[in-house]
A = this chain, B = another copy of it.
Amino acid sequence: MPITANDPQRRSWIQVNKDSDFPIQNIPFGVFLTRDDVITIGTRIGDTAIDLGALHQLGYFEGIPLTDDIFLQDSLNDFISDGKKTWRLVRNRIAEIFDINNPKLKDNEEHRRIVLFTLDEIEMQLPVQIGDYTDFYSSKEHATNVGKMFRDPENALLPNWLHIPVGYHGRSSSIVPSGIPIRRPMGQTLPPGTDTPLFGPSKRVDFELEMAFITTDANQLGEPIPVDEAEDYIFGMVLFNDWSARDIQKWEYVPLGPFLAKNFASSISPWIVTMDALEPFRVAGPKQSPAPLPYLQYSGNKSFDINLEVSLAPENSEPLTICKSNFKYMYWTMAQQLAHHTVNGCNVNSGDMMGSGTISGPTPDSYGSMLELSWSGKKPLKMKDGSERTFIEDGDTVTMKGYCQNNKVRIGFGEVSAKLLPPFSEKKKNGDR
Contacts and interface: CB of A to CB of B under 8 A. Distances in A.
Interface of A: 131-132, 134, 137, 158-160, 163-164, 166-174, 176, 180, 182-183, 185-188, 190, 195-197, 199, 202, 221-224, 245, 248, 251-260, 263-265, 290, 293-295, 340-341, 343-349, 352, 421, 424, 429
Contact of A252 (B164, B221, B248, B347): B164
Contact of A168 (B168, B185, B290, B421): B168
A221 to B, nearest CB: 6
Give the one of A158, A169, A349, A424 with max B CB within 10 A: A169
Given A260-B346, A293-B199, A343-B260, A168 B166 contact: no
18 contacts: A159-B190, A160-B190, A160-B197, A160-B254, A164-B188, A166-B252, A166-B259, A167-B256, A167-B259, A168-B257, A187-B343, A197-B293, A221-B265, A223-B429, A245-B344, A248-B344, A260-B344, A264-B345
A176 to B, nearest CB: 7
A258 B260 CA distance: 16
B186 A224 contact: yes
* Identical copies in the complex: 2
B293 A256 contact: no
Nearest to A293: B199
A347 B186 contact: no
Contacts of A264: 222, 344-346
Contacts of A245: 344
Contacts of A199: 293-295
Contact of A183 (B180, B222, B294, B348): B222
A404 to B, nearest CB: 29
B169 A263 contact: yes
A119 to B, nearest CB: 25
A347 B256 CA distance: 21
Given A174-B345, A245-B344, A260-B346, 15 more contacts: A158-B254, A163-B188, A164-B188, A164-B197, A168-B169, A168-B256, A182-B222, A183-B221, A187-B344, A197-B293, A199-B293, A222-B421, A223-B424, A253-B257, A264-B345
Contacts of A202: 344
B174 A171 contact: no
Contacts of A429: 223
A77 to B, nearest CB: 12
Given A159-B195, A222-B424, A174 B347 contact: yes
